[in-house]
Structure 1
Amino acid sequence: MTRKRSLVRRGAAVAAAGAAALVLAACGGDGDSPAGHGDHNAPASSSAPASASAPASQGQRNAADVAFAKGMIPHHRQAVEMAGLAPDRARSAEVKKLAADIKKAQDPEIRTLSGWLTSWGEEVPAEGAMDHSAHGMGGMMTAGEMTELEDASGKAFDTAFLEMMIRHHEGAVQMAKTEQADGAYNPATKMAAEIITSQSAEIEQMTRLLGED
């Protein structure tokens, strides 16, 4: 009999605990409870707006973002073209390395910028169509200046390359600052910040190399 009473009391205690848990769960469903009770449902309700809002915020682009992408693509293409001349013409190992670094950094950015324009339904500048004709924009070289660079070699190439690329970089930095001030598309303003940092450092490096000539 003692054993039977003990089992009955234990069963009553378990039932009471279960009832208390149900009451707590019911009270915790009003949204004021700690996240622990609502964890199973929280991801579905809280993550959906977050995942929806992230692309939406990134997707907000304006005319400045489009102008930045359309301008920077031919600008970068010309820099890559200039850098491609260095391996066979430059005398300085530092100039050759700098040119390789420029090409390595800007080739992927061209692809990224082109991808943005395509996703926005905008036209990607045709290869070569604006590269020389847009020389009035952001330190772009004229066709004559590009020919001069192509015809140079040795120390003359190093000097011409550094002088032209400094101007080119200064134009890119200015374009990037305009994007930072006026752009709305987060990835574009982030790229602009990276361009300002990296190309400003390269301007300092090229200025130093010119001083050593």
Structure 2
Amino acid sequence: MKRFAVPAALLSAGLLVSACGSTDTATRDMSSTSSMSAMPTESQDPATSPAADHNDRDIWFAQMMIPHHRQALEMAKLAEGRAAGSKVKELAKQIEAAQDPEIQMMTGWLESWGVQAPGEDGMPMDHTDHGMPGMMSGEDMKKLEGLKGAAFDKAFLTMMIQHHEGAITMAKEEQGAGIYEPATQMAGSIITSQSAEISTMRKLLK
């Protein structure tokens, strides 16, 4: 009986040490896991990233509206020496005053986004681009340039109504899908101001 007492005691002690060792290891593992879970992780929320303040629709809006506005300015400048009616000339100046600053603003947006503005560094501008509703063809512009007096007034008003309607369509698309607040605000301004100008031009045509 005495021969077995010592090994039993040793075995009991060995089991106790083993159990303590397992407990210590588990405690260390749990502590390590807890420390890792407590470590702060870097946020990748796209809503707060620098590029999240605009989207592809905002870029499209600026890239398309710049040449659209530029053509309106070309038409408006023709009115100065060709229009017969003083109200048509006043309207042309109003269009220039509104759209030229908007071109500068949209160009600034594109530059800040690292996107080339249309018409810069040889970037082509196609006045017949199907992505720009209301644009006049090169033939339309030549026709307008060759008119004077009442004939010019009628053609100018008719073409500018179509041009404005195209701009309003583009502005509504920006409001529906754009996220850049200055762009959506400009779109709202275009809708309001150009809708009012369309009403004026329709009255002048009558």
Are the structure 2 counterparts of residues 165 and 122 from structure 1 closer, same or farther at C-alpha, using a change threshold of 3 Å? same
Tell me, yes or no, if the aligned pair for 1:62 and 1:183 is still in contact at 8 Å: yes
User: Which of 102, 123, 136 pairs up with 1:109?
Assistant: 102
Q: What is residue 147 of structure 2 aligned with on the other side?
A: 152
Match of 2:77 in 1: 84
For 2:152 and 2:131, the matched residues in 1 are separated by: 23
Q: Deviations over 1:12-40 (max 9, x none)?
A: xxxxxxxxxxxxxxxxxxxxxxxxxxxxx
Q: Does 1:129 align with 2:124?
A: yes
Matches within 5 A, 1:1-213: 60-126=53-119, 129-134=124-129, 137-211=132-206
Report the AA paired with residue 99 of structure 1: A
* Residues matched between the structures, number: 157
The CA deviation at 1:138 is 1.4
Give the structure-1-normalised TM-score: 0.70
Unaligned runs of 5+ residues in structure 1 are: 1-54
Q: Distance in 2 between matches of 1:156 and 1:135?
A: 28
Q: 1:93 to 1:56 in 2, by over 3 A?
A: farther
Q: Deviation of residue 59 (structure 1)?
A: 6.2
Say which SS state the counterpart of residue 125 (structure 2) adopts.
Answer: coil
Shift of 1:137: 2.0
Deviation at 1:67, TM superposition (A): 0.2
For residues 56 and 201 of structure 1, do their structure 2 counterparts lie closer, same or farther at Cα, with a shift above 3 Å needed?
Answer: farther
Preserved CA contact (<8 Å) 1:77 1:131: no
Return the alpha-carbon distance in structure 1 between the equivalents of residues 200 and 90 of structure 2: 12
- TM-aligned CA distance change 1:57 to 1:101, over 3 Å: farther
Amino acid at match of 1:157: F
SS in 2 for 1:137: coil
> Would you say the 8 A contact 1:172–1:195 is kept in 2?
yes
Q: What are the superposed Cα offsets for residues 89-117 of structure 1, whole Å, 9 maximum, x if unpaired?
A: 00000000000000010000000000000
Q: What is the rounded CA distance, in whole Å, between the counterparts of 2:149 and 2:163 in structure 1?
A: 21
Identity among equivalent pairs (%): 57
Q: Which amino acid aligns with 1:97?
A: E
Note the aligned Cα RMSD (angstroms). Answer: 1.9
Structure 1 Cα separation of the partners of residues 52 and 108 of structure 2: 13
Contact 1:78 1:131 survives alignment (8 Å): no
Say if 1:140 and 1:154 are closer, same or farther in 2 by CA, change over 3 A: same
The TM-score normalised by the length of structure 2 is: 0.72
Q: What SS is found at the alignment partner of 2:116? A: coil
